[in-house]
Amino acid sequence: MAICGQYTVPYIQNLEYVSQGLLNIINGQILPGITPAAPIFIGDCEDLPTDDSQVFDCDDWIRIKDLLIKLSDDPADTEGLLLTLCNNLVCIIETVPMNYGLKAQFERFRCLCESLESRIDSIHCIRKCEEVIGDLLCLLIQLLTKLISVVSKAATLVYYADCVFNQKPCDKTIPTFFECMTCDFVNDLCELEKLVPELSAIVMAFISCDMENCTPCGTAKCACVKPRPICPPNMMHGCCHGHKPPYGYGYKPGGCGCGYKK
């Protein structure tokens, strides 16, 4: 067996732990009742066992949120998949040999990891907002699958990083692979970066849904914009219908005004 360098074992183990934990969330929380098993030989597609599909709800989100960021007020807590990932990335940046360009991308990954933590912590699921919960589930699947991809590629780059600096003469395998994988890693980070604002949009969508009968709100782009009256119908003063206000209040700048002119 040819050896080209060394890697720090705990870094790879921690990244594998995070990647497997993210996959377990999909298999255990989003797809409950599904357990990995030996492949079933499918001879007759019409005679296979079935089970009930369970609707994703706020209780599921709370459990997943706890796995990702560990819901606790104790600052000493070091659990949570994203916290493990962020801490691991800090150590990798400080100790693993890599060029400045790649190190900058790992620093970018660390920053994204912390941004994901804070935004996930801000999402408070509201049961009556079923459409937003559907948007949340869609975004969650996108986020988890993209994170698994990025973490797996980060682990591979860390594994071979020392080989790039200790390559044997005429050995082009690792440098060629490393350049290709680095490019793919950066592309995944770009895709992951696009999902961070969507988490903020989910936060605003829940707020908008919760406040829809109180004040007008802009609904985030990831959720459908739903038309709603600026004020309850009996307070619209008739101005939107082209006739004089029936209640004598008239147009009030900054209030429910809809452009009535005498």
Do 217 and 211 contact (CB within 8 A), yes or no?
yes
Do 131 and 223 contact (CB within 8 A), yes or no?
yes
Distance from C-alpha of 231 to C-alpha of 70, rounded to nearest angstrom? 40
Cβ-count burial of 132 within 10 angstroms (0-12 exposed, 13-18 middle, 19+ buried)?
buried
pLDDT band at 229, cuts 50/70/90? very low
Domain shared by 236 and 174, yes or no = no
Cα distances from 230 to residues 106, 114, 235, 251, 258, in angstroms, run 46, 37, 9, 14, 9
Look at the chain and report how many structural domains it folds into. Answer: 2
Task: Give residue 249's domain range.
Answer: 229-262
Residue 145 has pLDDT above 80, yes or no: yes
Q: Determine if the pTM surpasses 0.85.
A: no
Domain shared by 137 and 235, yes or no = no
146-178 confidence digits (pLDDT tens):
999 999 999 999 999 888 877 665 578 888 888
Distance from C-alpha of 54 to C-alpha of 96, rounded to nearest angstrom? 44
pLDDT value of position 95: 92
Q: Which residue has the higher pLDDT, 45 or 10?
A: 10
Domain shared by 126 and 182, yes or no = yes
Domain shared by 161 and 72, yes or no = yes
Instruction: Report if residue 237 sits inside a domain.
Output: yes
Domain shared by 157 and 121, yes or no = yes
Domain shared by 153 and 188, yes or no = yes
Distance from C-alpha of 68 to C-alpha of 22, rounded to nearest angstrom? 8
Distance from C-alpha of 203 to C-alpha of 214, rounded to nearest angstrom? 17
